[in-house]
């Protein structure tokens, strides 16, 4: 039995090559000349809960993702990203009396919302999903029949101004999904170097003005004006970015990069994919919904490495029967939300669902 979940995920290396903006249609999109930036709403303009809209999340690719799991009534399933439970509830609907669903989330509000489920077949775990294999082993679960990951952040996280994910509101600069641990973006900015900050913004935000932005942020800090709010950060970034994409706030890419960095989102995913492979029983399904190309690349490459085991040079003298056999097979092609879903929920527009099935090969 594997013990001791690593509750402090490893430090994020800055190694990624690019991180397209979630709202950018293309990295080569037409750039606009600098224009005045939309003013952030003061936090006092929001409702009493500090949210700008209902505390709800519209589940993306709900039917497609749950269908992809091919739920067996007596199976054991994992929802690695509970959020507000849209996918979890649908999985529970398809499970029989002996089926089980174990859900993970590192956001305490997601954990709180799961209390409403009240189903003995369901268990909610407060953990980052890279702790999945160890947590399941602690529960005596070594194999499962399906795992779903719906990556990124939920609408309640974005829309709760006090979480600091959005430049639309002026709020403390936090951006942690798990507010019980880890450093906030304000902490990171207070302690990092200009070079490291520039690398984070460039690599995780694919921001062409990363150097200028990092310089402006560090100058502000070193001039005695600590950057502690989203409004301050958005303003400093806007002052450093001279051209940006139509309809996009100049701070979009910087906010995305800092969020990915402090939450170690890519490292989490890289650590979790091999665990999914180890956990899936033969014919077990993995379904992953990504929202930007860096995530999707990790998922795609991992699945490809399990599917294409024949990476030997052409004419290599080996019998076909002696070739390593695939540990996974692709199930269908990638699935994206249709026009109807995107219209109803614009936040779904960049979603990509990949599905793979575990083979018998150990
Ligand atoms: C897009 S939402 C999931 C929404 C969910 N499928 C639903 O229908 O309500 C992503 C959720 O995953 C959580 N999350 C993201 N990365 C995580 C990680 N590495 N470990 C655990 N939870 C994570 C976030 O806190 C957020 O609640």
Identify whether 242 is part of a domain: yes
Identify whether 90 is part of a domain: yes
Distance CA 267, CA 286 (A): 18
pLDDT over 60 (residue 37): no
If asked whether residues 46 and 171 sit together in one domain, one would say yes
Ligand 1 atom 24, closest CA? 153
Distance CA 359, CA 343 (A): 37
Span from the CA of 150 to the centroid of ligand 1 (angstroms): 6
Span from the CA of 122 to the centroid of ligand 1 (angstroms): 17
The predicted-structure confidence for 111-170, as pLDDT tens digits, reads as follows 999 999 999 999 999 999 999 999 999 999 999 999 999 999 999 999 999 999 999 999
If asked whether residues 172 and 222 sit together in one domain, one would say yes
Answer for the pair 188, 260: CB distance below 8 angstroms, yes or no. Answer: no
Identify whether 189 is part of a domain: yes
Span from the CA of 6 to the centroid of ligand 1 (angstroms): 18
Answer for the pair 99, 121: CB distance below 8 angstroms, yes or no. Answer: yes
Ligand 1 atom 9, closest CA? 84
If asked whether residues 50 and 66 sit together in one domain, one would say no
Beta bridge partners of 229: 172
Of all atoms in ligand 1, which is nearest to the CA of residue 148? 6
Identify whether 18 is part of a domain: no
Query: In sequence order, what are the residues at sequence separation of 6 or more whose Cβ sits closer than 8 angstroms to the Cβ of residue 199?
Result: 14, 210
CATH label of the domain that carries residue 171 = 1.10.150.170
Ligand 1 atom 14, closest CA? 81
DSSP state of 150: E
The pair of three-digit structure tokens given for residue 20, joined into one six-digit string: 């397209």
Query: In sequence order, what are the residues at sequence separation of 6 or more whose Cβ sits closer than 8 angstroms to the Cβ of residue 3?
Result: 134, 137, 138
CATH label of the domain that carries residue 126 = 3.40.50.150
Identify whether 271 is part of a domain: no
If asked whether residues 205 and 327 sit together in one domain, one would say no
Please choose, from the candidates 130, 165, 149, 133, the residue with its C-alpha nearest in 3D space to the C-alpha of residue 252.
165
Site to probe by mutation for ligand 1, drawn from 12, 83, 104 as the one with most ligand atoms within 8 Å of Cβ, is 83
Distance CA 215, CA 239 (A): 11
If asked whether residues 258 and 175 sit together in one domain, one would say yes
If asked whether residues 79 and 127 sit together in one domain, one would say yes
**39 alpha carbon, distance to own chain's centre:** 27
Site to probe by mutation for ligand 1, drawn from 6, 55, 105 as the one with most ligand atoms within 8 Å of Cβ, is 105
Identify whether 16 is part of a domain: no
**Percentages (nearest 5) of helix, strand, coil residues in the chain:** 40, 15, 45
Domain count, the chain: 2
If asked whether residues 135 and 91 sit together in one domain, one would say yes
The predicted-structure confidence for 268-322, as pLDDT tens digits, reads as follows 999 999 999 999 999 999 999 999 999 999 999 999 999 998 777 777 888 877 8
If asked whether residues 48 and 192 sit together in one domain, one would say yes
If asked whether residues 149 and 297 sit together in one domain, one would say yes
Beta bridge partners of 280: 144
User: What angle (nearest 5°) sits at the alpha carbon of residue 265, between those of residues 336 and 170?
Assistant: 95
Identify whether 83 is part of a domain: yes
Taking each helix axis from N to C end, the angle separating 230-240 and 210-222, rounded to the nearest 10 degrees, works out to: 130
Ligand 1, CB cutoff 6 Å, lining residues: 57, 59, 81, 83-87, 104-107, 110, 128-129, 150, 152-154, 177, 268
Distance CA 80, CA 240 (A): 38
If asked whether residues 328 and 347 sit together in one domain, one would say yes
If asked whether residues 115 and 76 sit together in one domain, one would say yes
Ligand 1 atom 4, closest CA? 83
Identify whether 200 is part of a domain: yes
Average pLDDT over residues 250-261: 96
| Domain extent for 88 | 62-155+280-312+322-358
Span from the CA of 151 to the centroid of ligand 1 (angstroms): 6
Beta bridge partners of 104: 125
Question: What is the 3-state secondary structure of 222-289?
Answer: HCCCCCCEHHHHHHHHHHHCCEECCCCCCCHHHHHHHHHHHCCHHHHHHHHHHHHHHHEEEEEEEEEE
If asked whether residues 100 and 48 sit together in one domain, one would say no
The predicted-structure confidence for 192-232, as pLDDT tens digits, reads as follows 999 999 999 999 999 999 999 999 999 999 999 999 999 99
Average pLDDT over residues 167-177: 95
Site to probe by mutation for ligand 1, drawn from 154, 163, 263 as the one with most ligand atoms within 8 Å of Cβ, is 154
Ligand 1 atom 15, closest CA? 152
Which of 12-16, 98-102, 185-189 comes out lowest in average pLDDT?
A: 12-16
pLDDT over 50 (residue 7): no
Query: What local confidence, expressed as pLDDT, does residue 50 receive?
Result: 33
Query: What local confidence, expressed as pLDDT, does residue 76 receive?
Result: 98
Ligand 1 atom 2, closest CA? 154
């Amino acid at each position: 039995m594997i013990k001791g979940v690593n509750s402090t995920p490893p430090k994020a290396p800055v190694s990624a090559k690019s991180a397209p903006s979630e709202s950018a249609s293309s990295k080569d999109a037409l750039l606009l000349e600098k224009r005045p930036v939309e003013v952030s709403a003061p936090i006092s303009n929001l409702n009493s809960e500090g949210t700008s809209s209902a505390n709800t999340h519209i589940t993306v690719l709900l039917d497609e993702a749950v269908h992809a799991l091919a739920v067996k009534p007596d199976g054991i399933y994992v929802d690695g990203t509970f959020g507000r439970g849209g996918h979890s509830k649908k999985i529970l609907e398809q499970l029989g009396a002996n089926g089980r669903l174990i859900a993970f989330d590192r956001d305490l509000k997601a954990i709180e919302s799961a209390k409403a489920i009240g189903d003995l077949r369901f268990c909610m775990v407060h953990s980052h999903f890279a702790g999945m294999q160890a947590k399941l082993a602690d529960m005596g679960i070594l194999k499962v029949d399906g795992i779903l990951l719906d990556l990124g952040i939920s609408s309640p996280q974005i829309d709760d101004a006090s979480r600091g994910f959005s430049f639309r509101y002026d709020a403390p600069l936090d951006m942690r999904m798990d507010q019980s641990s880890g450093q906030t973006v304000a902490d990171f900015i207070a302690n990092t170097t200009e070079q490291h900050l520039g690398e984070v913004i460039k690599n995780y935000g694919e921001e062409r003005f990363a150097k200028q932005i990092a310089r402006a942020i560090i100058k502000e800090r070193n001039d005695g004006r600590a950057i502690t709010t989203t409004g301050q950060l958005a303003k400093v970034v806007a002052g450093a970015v001279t051209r940006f994409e139509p309809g996009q706030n100049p701070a979009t890419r910087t906010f995305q990069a800092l969020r990915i960095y402090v939450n170690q989102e890519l490292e989490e995913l890289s650590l979790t994919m091999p665990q999914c492979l180890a956990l899936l029983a033969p014919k077990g399904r993995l379904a992953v919904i990504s929202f930007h190309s860096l995530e999707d690349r990790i998922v795609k490459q991992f699945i490809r490495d399990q599917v294409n085991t024949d990476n030997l040079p052409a004419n290599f003298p080996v019998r076909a029967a002696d070739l390593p056999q695939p540990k996974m097979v692709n199930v269908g092609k990638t699935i994206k939300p249709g026009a109807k879903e995107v219209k109803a929920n614009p936040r779904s527009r960049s979603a990509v669902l990949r599905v793979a099935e575990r083979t018998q090969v150990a």
